[in-house]
Structure 1
Amino acid sequence: MAYPALASRRFAGPLSPDQFRFFALLIALAVLLSSFALPVRADEQRGNLPDFTALVKSAAPAVVNISTTREESAGPGMNQQQIPEIFRHFFGDQMPPGFGPRGPQRPGGRTLSSLGSGFIISPDGYILTNAHVVDGADNVTVRLNDRRELDAEVVGTDRKTDVALIKVDANDLPTLDIGNSDNLEVGEWVAAIGSPFGFDHSVTAGIVSAINRTLPTDTYVPFIQTDVAINPGNSGGPLFNLDGQVVGINSQIFTRSGGFMGVSFAIPINVAMDIADQLRDNGQVQRGWLGVVIQPVSDDLADSFGLDRARGALIAEVAPDSPAAQAGLQAGDIILRAGDTDIDSSEMLPRVIGRLSPGDSIDLRVQRDGSERTISLEVGQWPESEQPGDAGSSVGNESGRLGVAVSELTADQRQQLEIDSGVLVRQVAPDSAAERAGLQPGDVIVTLAGQSIDSAATLHKVVEGLESDHPVPMRVNRDGTTLFVALRLGDAGK
């Protein structure tokens, strides 16, 4: 109790000269120390965050803006009122690639324009971008960092991986350093350069959120998931690591609003460069083909087949006269290993087989009837027209509106189900219109909105003509029983 009394007496009156000098010295010392401490704390904060300035200065000259035009006849599609209000003033009459269905019905058709990004991979003018950026374009124009505009030729596109190779007539162009996407780790910093909404050379950054992501209708791409802000116009642009190396091509976003929501996907550069090499050398991509329909192995299935855990790719169907059939693979076999790769999940098998060239041999480690065996086979050439039995294949990318991957029925399937036409549902995207309607893998879509569905192309055409948020009847054959479901389409984007 002595301390408060002493304090009360000590500061009750005016300060003495000695006390004043003492407190002045303390204040001066505090100011002096703060002048040293603040820069140290700022430096420490800067040291904990990546600095992208050098990367941008070095890489920006090799990133390009891509604009396309195409003539389109009148048809149903999206009008200005269907675009979210916040984006409308960016577009005018331009619709960015991947942003929903194409324009409104207008007599006599119209010229459609779109914007995207790309990057130069060789001094003589080869440029990588997304297939959906240039798909169907009548004219492709590339604007370089120095503002030159050059006409581009589409060397080739691959829709399965959404990779396209184009070329401009120029020499001594700046190029980017190509990295190794196999070395990416979750949590690693990455940056994107592109042209969102036409704003050239916009830079965004974030981290790798996940690797080897499989999307419902993109079986052949082990996507890189990031939280880098990607918007319409970024498609086809490069994704960089902190060393300034390209590790991916920005391709898609998951969105419920039409804009960025924190989840974006990039095609690994290792996959893209393999595709680019084939397009440059052959003008097309050749893939290995087994001829099997596969499905995941659940815990219950693993237990029923005598597996120690859920792993592998379960063969549900073998296409007649396919490489798999000729090698003796059977429905019910579980592929546990392909070559040197353990098949931990079913989506890994199409990636392994798809990277092989027709004629390549591979050893498959298979479990059958509770015991393992090795089956060697020579992979075939991917059929020109897809058919059931394509390992992990999907026909008809409806992920934007319907949310299913489908394939045509074989003659045997039509006879077995006693139906004349229909398409088989292979995959259903989570939280999609198809899932909300109750569609399941294995269902056969027979009619939609009163129209017979005889192919994936017909399904795509009918879906594109439907209005959003208006229920339409869909007739489905499920396990030999016919039923109707009410389908209500919503808006989704890439």
Structure 2
Amino acid sequence: MKPQAVSVPISNTSYVKMMWLSFIAIVALVAQAVVVQARPDSFADLAEQVSPSVVNITTSTTVAGRTGPRGVVPEGSPFEDFFREFQDRQGEGERPRRSSALGSGFVISEDGYVVTNNHVIDGADEILIEFFSGEELPATVIGKDPNTDLALLKVESAEPLQFVSFGDSDTARVGDWVLAVGNPLGQGFSVSAGIVSARNRALSGNYDDYIQTDAAINRGNSGGPLFNMDGEVVGVNTAILSPNGGSIGIGFSMASNVVTRVIDQLEKFGETRRGWLGVQIQNISEDMVETIDGLEGTAGAIVTNVPEGPAKEAGILANDVIMSFDGQDVEDVRGLVRTVGNTEVGKAVRVVVLRDGKTQTLKVTLGRREDAEAAVPAVAEGPTDEPTEKEILGLTVTPVTESLRSELGLDAEAVGLVVTGVDEASKAFEKGLRQGDLIVEASQQAVLAISDLDGRIEEAKDAGRKSILLLVHRGGEPRFVALGLE
């Protein structure tokens, strides 16, 4: 017998479910196709679009002639005259000579403004801009900012120049495609592609906000642009991390949202004008939290010193913890420095500080950081002589004396306890305290004598605290250290 086909009726509900499943499958396939298409088959169109706005930069500098023999020749050596005579024959005597360097940049306006790195043009006598077409034009420096390693140049052209626009670097995500264009190793226009490897990298400056990329960046790429896939500049290629000077896939580009603020100021004023609060601050560590009344976490920045300036005039004190600035919560020192620097000079802002376990709001009118760069922080006054030396918590301390002040190069007004020795097996050594450090405060109170430090330690123990907060100066720079009492 042949098996008979059995017809099973499909209900309306089952039919609708099947249709929905089919629809979802189709949508998934379309979405997958879109994702695949998002990865470009070629960067040729983008490279062709942006290349006319990218420039090579050649600088020339007059270097003073050598006053002595080149090489390792001790002064007074019988070979000194021989080497000097050899250099003179080779034209390398005391005559000035020309030195040249190469870099990259990009045009940001049709009337000839060009962005590059400060280190590309710093100290240059002549700056020559070479365009993609081969045309060359001399450039003048409009302004530069060593803090962010940026410079703004200007060329005069009879014809409007092709230029590129800045994008929003905050929208760049880790994994996004980027394109680096420049003049690596003096080879001329070159394009390299990669992805955003990391965001918000800090290298060494107060205003750092670098995009890390694996797009090949080499010497000569400095000052060149990092493009997103829309042809917008999201970074200025500035530095690489490399053991041999060549690209190993770790490059850094200053984020465009930092660049645009700096360039706008350089164009308007020929210099930067950053806000200045007028405090010295440091981050709050986990072991410092327990020593500060009212503090619940490590967010904020603790004030270590208040020199003459806006903060002092507004009533901010050393030991205050800055919790909020101009309506923005303060997470750490880096964030506060960047926020203050980006705030308009002369603006009156509200600063919320934690003091003696309670918050206070103070109004501060910001100064200009560039005007205060050379300011020297003041140190509290007090008596200077106490001959006693004592070992406390792994530290050997003694009050400041005139001989110690001279030996350590301390200011005439410096007071406190000098660390003359540190037990290397102690917690004090683990915390980084070293011989020559100056203890200025303990538990946010001035320390002028050994008895002061002993008293603060006893008070902390009586209060059940496991550590004591010390304010320590080293080389004139203050910092807080939470030192264990056990």
Question: Normalised by the size of structure 1, how large is the TM-score?
Answer: 0.63
Within 1, Cα distance between the matches of 2:160 and 2:138? Answer: 17
SS at match of 2:209: strand
Within 1, Cα distance between the matches of 2:406 and 2:301? Answer: 29
SS at match of 1:178: coil
- Out of 193, 215, 225, the residue aligned to residue 228 of structure 1 is 215
8 Å contact from structure 1 (residues 293, 388) kept in 2: no
Deviation at 1:210, TM superposition (A): 2.1
SS at match of 1:127: strand
8 Å contact from structure 1 (residues 417, 480) kept in 2: no
Q: Give the corresponding residue for 2:55.
A: 64
Gap runs ≥5 in structure 2: 1-32, 72-91, 378-399, 412-429, 438-471, 476-486
8 Å contact from structure 2 (residues 167, 234) kept in 1: yes
Deviation at 1:441, TM superposition (A): 10
* Map 1:292-441 → 2, pairs under 5 A: 292-305=279-292, 306-319=294-307, 321-384=308-371, 386-387=373-374, 417-418=405-406
Amino acid at match of 1:200: G
SS at match of 1:304: coil
SS at match of 1:140: strand
Q: Summarize the Cα distance change of 1:114–1:291 in structure 2 as closer, same or farther, 3 Å threshold.
A: same
Within 2, Cα distance between the matches of 1:223 and 1:164? Answer: 17
SS at match of 2:151: strand
Amino acid at match of 2:314: A
Q: Summarize the Cα distance change of 1:115–1:372 in structure 2 as closer, same or farther, 3 Å threshold.
A: same
Within 2, Cα distance between the matches of 1:255 and 1:444? Answer: 36
Matched, 1:278 2:265: yes
Within 1, Cα distance between the matches of 2:403 and 2:316? Answer: 23
Within 2, Cα distance between the matches of 1:278 and 1:343? Answer: 25
Deviation at 1:327, TM superposition (A): 0.9
Within 2, Cα distance between the matches of 1:75 and 1:181? Answer: 46
- Out of 30, 35, 43, the residue aligned to residue 52 of structure 1 is 43
* Map 1:147-226 → 2, pairs under 5 A: 147-170=134-157, 171-216=159-204, 218-226=205-213
Within 1, Cα distance between the matches of 2:433 and 2:52? Answer: 46
Deviation at 1:261, TM superposition (A): 2.7
* Map 1:434-453 → 2, pairs under 5 A: none
Within 2, Cα distance between the matches of 1:275 and 1:193? Answer: 21
Deviation at 1:373, TM superposition (A): 2.1
Within 2, Cα distance between the matches of 1:277 and 1:442? Answer: 45
Within 2, Cα distance between the matches of 1:279 and 1:116? Answer: 20
8 Å contact from structure 1 (residues 195, 201) kept in 2: yes
SS at match of 1:284: coil
Q: What are the Cα deviations for residues 256-294 of structure 1, in whole angstroms up to 9, with x where unaligned?
A: 222223222111112212211211111111111111111
Q: Give the corresponding residue for 2:380.
A: none
Deviates more, 1:228-237 or 1:139-148: 228-237
Amino acid at match of 1:213: R
Deviation at 1:175, TM superposition (A): 0.6
Within 1, Cα distance between the matches of 2:173 and 2:433? Answer: 33
8 Å contact from structure 1 (residues 288, 354) kept in 2: yes
Bigger-Rg structure (1/2): 2
Q: Give the corresponding residue for 2:421.
A: none
Within 1, Cα distance between the matches of 2:346 and 2:403? Answer: 33
- Out of 232, 239, 249, the residue aligned to residue 245 of structure 1 is 232
Deviation at 1:385, TM superposition (A): 6.2
8 Å contact from structure 2 (residues 276, 368) kept in 1: yes
Q: How many residues align?
A: 345
Deviation at 1:253, TM superposition (A): 1.4
State percent identity of aligned pairs: 38
Q: What are the Cα deviations for residues 114-167 of structure 1, in whole angstroms up to 9, with x where unaligned?
A: 111000000010001111111110000000010001000111111111110001
Within 2, Cα distance between the matches of 1:322 and 1:122? Answer: 38
Deviates more, 1:127-136 or 1:203-212: 203-212
Deviation at 1:440, TM superposition (A): 7.0
Q: Give the corresponding residue for 2:64.
A: 73
Q: What are the Cα deviations for residues 66-95 of structure 1, in whole angstroms up to 9, with x where unaligned?
A: 00010112469xx99xxxxxxxxxxxxxxx
Deviation at 1:188, TM superposition (A): 1.9
Within 2, Cα distance between the matches of 1:480 and 1:295? Answer: 14
Q: Give the corresponding residue for 2:461.
A: none
Deviation at 1:220, TM superposition (A): 1.4
Q: Summarize the Cα distance change of 1:110–1:351 in structure 2 as closer, same or farther, 3 Å threshold.
A: same
Deviation at 1:235, TM superposition (A): 0.5
Within 2, Cα distance between the matches of 1:441 and 1:262? Answer: 38
Cα RMSD after superposing both structures:
3.4
8 Å contact from structure 2 (residues 59, 128) kept in 1: yes
Amino acid at match of 1:130: N
Deviation at 1:200, TM superposition (A): 2.0
8 Å contact from structure 2 (residues 59, 125) kept in 1: yes
Within 2, Cα distance between the matches of 1:359 and 1:480? Answer: 32
Within 1, Cα distance between the matches of 2:403 and 2:130? Answer: 54
8 Å contact from structure 1 (residues 129, 164) kept in 2: yes
Q: Summarize the Cα distance change of 1:277–1:132 in structure 2 as closer, same or farther, 3 Å threshold.
A: same
